[in-house]
Amino acid sequence: MNNIPRHVAIVMDGNGRWAQKRGLSRSAGHRAGVETIRNVLKTCKKLGIEVLTLFAFSTENWKRPKSEVDGLMALLVEYLKKETKELNESNVRLKIIGDISKLPMHIQQEIHNSTQLTKDNDGIVLNLAINYGGRAEILRAVKKIANDVCLGKISQQQINEELFSKYLYTHDLPDPDLIIRPSGEYRISNFLLYQMAYSELWFSKIMWPDFSSRVLLRAIKDYQKRDRRFGAV
What pLDDT digit, counting tens, does each position of 11-28 carry?
Answer: 999 999 999 999 999 999
CA distances from 175 to 39, 94, 129 (A): 23, 17, 14
Average pLDDT of the chain is 96
83: helix, coil or strand? helix
CB 192 within 8 A of CB 168: no
- 73 vs 105: CA distance, rounded Å: 12
- At CA 205, angle to CA 29 and CA 94, rounded to 5? 55
Phi-psi region of 70 (alpha: psi -120 to 50; beta: other; left: phi over 0): alpha
CATH hierarchy code of domain 7-132+176-224: 3.40.1180.10
Which residues are bridge partners to 55 per DSSP? Answer: 11, 129
Q: What angle do CA 61, 124, 178 make, to 5 degrees?
A: 60
Q: What is the pTM of this model?
A: 0.95
| Cα angle 162, 163, 168; round to 5 | 95
Active site annotation includes 13 = yes
153: Cα separation from own chain's centroid? 31
Could you confirm whether 222 is annotated as catalytic? no
Tell me the pLDDT tens digit for each residue of 30-47.
Answer: 999 999 999 999 999 999
Q: What are phi and psi of 171, to 5 degrees?
A: -55, -25
Percent of the chain scored above 90 by pLDDT? 97
Among the options 39, 61, 121, 190, which is catalytic?
61
Q: What is the chain's Cα-based Rg?
A: 18
- Mean per-residue pLDDT, 57-73: 95
> So what's the pLDDT on residue 119?
97
pLDDT (tens digit per residue) in 141-159: 999 999 999 999 999 999 9
Q: How far apart are CA 102 and CA 131, in angstroms?
A: 8
Sequence-ordered list of residues with C-beta below 8 angstroms from that of 208, at least 6 positions apart, any chain: 12, 13, 14, 15, 18, 33, 36, 182, 183
User: Average pLDDT of 65-77?
Assistant: 95
206 residue type, one letter: I
Structural contact between residues 132 and 169, judged by C-beta atoms closer than 8 angstroms: yes
